[in-house]
Amino acid sequence: MIRCVVQVSFTPNLGVHVDVTPLDVQGTTVREALEAVFEVRPRMRSYVLDDQGRLRAHVNVFVSGQMIRDRDQQTDAVDTSTSLWVFQALSGG
């Protein structure tokens, strides 16, 4: 499968902890795209994934406006027409 260039964007609230400038990375799945992001921004990994490699409970990832189905392995497909957004859910009282 040919690796595609995908733009990965992040919600600004993650910017308190890490650089959230959008990145163009290569991959065929959400996981491959995220791994490419983590190569450039290693500190981002602990904000997005838990120690088992699953998305953290407070993080959602959307591919072209649709929430991904596979939160554990992030196997949802991406291609050059894909927009990938990483959201940190906010909560509080």
- Does residue 65 fall inside a structural domain? yes
Report the alpha-carbon distance of residue 36 to residue 12 in Å, rounded: 20
**Nearest one of 78, 30, 75, 73 to 54, comparing CA atoms:** 73
Whether the pLDDT of residue 93 is over 60: the answer is: no
- Does residue 93 fall inside a structural domain? no
- Does residue 40 fall inside a structural domain? yes
Range of the domain at 62: 4-88
Specify the number of domains making up the chain.
Answer: 1
- Does residue 28 fall inside a structural domain? yes
- Does residue 10 fall inside a structural domain? yes
pTM passes above 0.75: yes
**What is the CATH number for 63?**
3.10.20.30
Q: Confidence class of residue 91 from pLDDT cuts 50, 70 and 90?
A: low
Which tens digits make up the pLDDT trace of 8-48? 999 888 778 788 899 999 999 999 999 999 999 999 999 99
Which tens digits make up the pLDDT trace of 54-64? 999 999 999 99
Judge contact between 51 and 4, C-beta under 8 A.
no
More confident residue, 1 or 14: 14
Name the strand (E) or helix (H) holding 6: strand 4-10
